[in-house]
Amino acid sequence: MSARAVLDKLLGLMEGTSQGRRIVSSLAEQELPAKQSTSLALITNELVSNAIKYGKGDIQVRLFRENGHAVLEVCDDGPGFHPPGARRGAGLQNMRDRLGALDGQLAIAAGAQRGTTVTGSIPLPVGGSASAAPDLA
C-alpha cells in the first residue's frame, strides 16, 4: 500500500479544516503493509490536528526514509510544550503506543518559546522501497 497516496488524500481532506493555514507536504513514495500505512495515517491525523489546534503558521509534513525506517515529521510554529516535564495528553500517549506496537518511536523537539517538531519512525519491512524526500516548498 502506498503510504504517500494515503497521506496525500488525508492531508487534502485536513486542509479543509485547517482554519486557513497551509499544510505543506513533502512525501516520499513508500510502500508499507496495510497495518503500518493505517497506523501512519492515524498518527498523521493526530499530529496535524494538534498543529492546527495549538500551532501557528504553516504546518509542514514530511515522509522520508532514513536508516531503514519510514520517518514522519510534522512541524509547526506554535508555542511548543512548556515546561519540558509538562503533562502531555492522551493523544501523544496513543501515538507512542501505536508506534511501539510497530517497533517504532516518537520524538518531540520543542522550543520553550516557539515551534514543535514531532517525529515518528517505524522500521521498514525488508525489501521496502522509498525515494528521497523532495525539498519542502
Q: pLDDT at position 92, please?
A: 77
Between the alpha carbon of residue 118 and those of residues 46, 58, 67, 126, the distances in Å are: 11, 15, 18, 25
- Fold classification of 3-123 is Heat Shock Protein 90 (3.30.565)
Write down the pTM of the prediction: 0.82
Per-residue pLDDT of the chain (137 residues), as tens digits, is: 899 999 999 999 999 888 888 999 999 999 999 889 999 999 999 999 988 988 888 999 999 999 999 999 999 987 766 545 555 667 778 888 888 888 999 988 876 666 889 999 999 887 544 444 433 33
Q: pLDDT at position 19, please?
A: 85
Sign of the CA dihedral running 126, 132, 80, 6? negative
Q: In the chain, what are the domain boundaries?
A: 3-123
Between the alpha carbon of residue 31 and those of residues 8, 65, 68, 73, 133, the distances in Å are: 14, 11, 13, 17, 14
At how many degrees (to 10) do helices 90-101 and 34-54 cross? 160
Q: pLDDT at position 91, please?
A: 74
- The span from the CA of 51 to the CA of 3, in Å, is 21
